[in-house]
Amino acid sequence: MELELLPIRELASLAGANPGSYLVRGQLELARTKTAKNGNPFIELRLADGEGTLTLRAWSDHPHFAEIQGLKEGEFVEIAGSWFEQPNFGLDARDWRTRVLTKEEIEALLAGSGPLHEKQEADYAFIASSIAGMTDPRLRAVSEKFLEVFGERFQRTAAARKNHHARRGGLVEHVAQMMRSASALCSVYPAVNRDLVLAGVLFHDCGKLWENCYAEKGFAMPYSDFGELLGHIPIGLELVNRLWKDCQEGGATVSWATLEPASDQVRLHLLHLVASHHGVLEYGSPVVPKTPEAFLLHYVDNIDAKMEMVAEAYEAGSKVSATVYDWVRPLGTRLVQPLAAVLPEAEPPQPD
């Protein structure tokens, strides 16, 4: 019988309620032989794909122990087994074995699962069209320059290492959804500078391209001195200034010179949005929001992160009762099953 191939995230969600035999593919972040307390060796594997990670342990009596012991970190493999959720451990498997992927299978895996890949492509196209629709030529130019120079890197960056959109391409999803929310709010508050808000959304986490970027050909998210010593907000400020200067050196300032408000003021306000988007000093912003656009950006960012955490908790979280979910640490609460929307009443049949 041919087994169904599932992404790690979907497998984790399914295995708790429907244990069964499935295939999963990913890259080995970890493949190490360790020693148990009784002195027996065991192998610990950590597999990652574009949506999640899982950990498996093979003990010395595993029928394929020697085969598993030959696996190397960084290899792309398929694991077939009978999956279930083990209390206090999480996703686990029985009777599992591994296979190294072919080059074609690796390329397909790196492209992402069908629905996720399609969503991220649509989100990226939405971002590009939103930028193209900007009225302010300066904000449009610097935003288009960002996509031109860093678009490929942007598309493989996560919005975070954990908690929300913590997957390859997650930053594109986060930015696109924030742009949708911000555009809707700008229509409610027409005094807000819409172009500035959209540019702020694009650039607020742009420093994460050096803090949370996945390897070009893998699912590892390495740490760097640059990301650790500076953090994404200072990196983002530097990047905005660099791109702005590149646009100026490209001759854009000839057409910018007569625009009002002045270009230096536009750049300064965009930098303020990047600097203040965490909202409070305790969370890493060097300055708190001081303009309507900065406040709107901060709350839109917070809303989208929270709604993603809620959605993930409903999808993959375990329940403590029929309607109550287990504690969600980032949210600081237990979630309750949401209330379904009322369905419209069916119209009574009309007499002939």
Residue-wise pLDDT for 53-80, tens only, equals 899 999 999 999 999 999 999 999 999 9
Residues 88 and 180 in one domain: no
Domain final position from 77, 106, 135: 106
- The CATH number of residue 64's host domain is 2.40.50.140
Ranges 157-161, 203-207, 318-322, most confident: 203-207
261 part of a folded domain: yes
Residues 219 and 147 in one domain: yes
Residues 99 and 143 in one domain: no
Domain final position from 76, 106, 136: 106
Mean pLDDT, range 22-44, rounded to an integer? 93
75 part of a folded domain: yes
Which residue carries 């172009």 as its tokens?
Answer: 195
121 part of a folded domain: yes
Residue pair 174/231 in contact by the 8 Å Cβ criterion: no
% of the chain residues with pLDDT over 90: 70
Residues 136 and 241 in one domain: yes
Mean pLDDT, range 156-174, rounded to an integer? 92
In the chain, how many domains are there?
2
174 part of a folded domain: yes
Mean pLDDT, range 20-32, rounded to an integer? 93
What pTM, to 2 d.p., does this model score? Answer: 0.86
Residues 233 and 153 in one domain: yes
Residues 75 and 217 in one domain: no
227 part of a folded domain: yes
Q: How many CB atoms within 10 Å of residue 41?
A: 13
Q: How many whole angstroms separate alpha carbon 270 and alpha carbon 199?
A: 7
Residue 88: predicted pLDDT: 67
pLDDT at 348 > cutoff 80: no
Residues 118 and 208 in one domain: yes
316 part of a folded domain: no
- Which of the 8 DSSP states describes residue 167? S
Joined together, the tokens standing for residue 348 give 């009574």
The whole domain housing 57 covers 4-106
Residues 160 and 270 in one domain: yes
Residues 228 and 302 in one domain: yes
Q: Which residues of 217-252 are buried (b: 16+ CB within 10 A; e: fewer)?
A: ebbebeeeeebeebebbebbbebbeebbebbbeeeb
Q: Which residues of 322-336 are buried (b: 16+ CB within 10 A; e: fewer)?
A: eeebeebeeeeeebe
Residues 145 and 274 in one domain: yes
Mean pLDDT, range 152-172, rounded to an integer? 93
Residue 254: predicted pLDDT: 66
Domain final position from 274, 294, 309: 309
Residues 179 and 276 in one domain: yes
Q: For 111-145, write each residue's pLDDT tens digit.
A: 877 788 899 999 999 999 999 999 999 999 999 99
Q: How many whole angstroms separate alpha carbon 243 and alpha carbon 202?
A: 13
Residues 92 and 139 in one domain: no
pLDDT at 253 > cutoff 70: no
pLDDT at 252 > cutoff 70: no
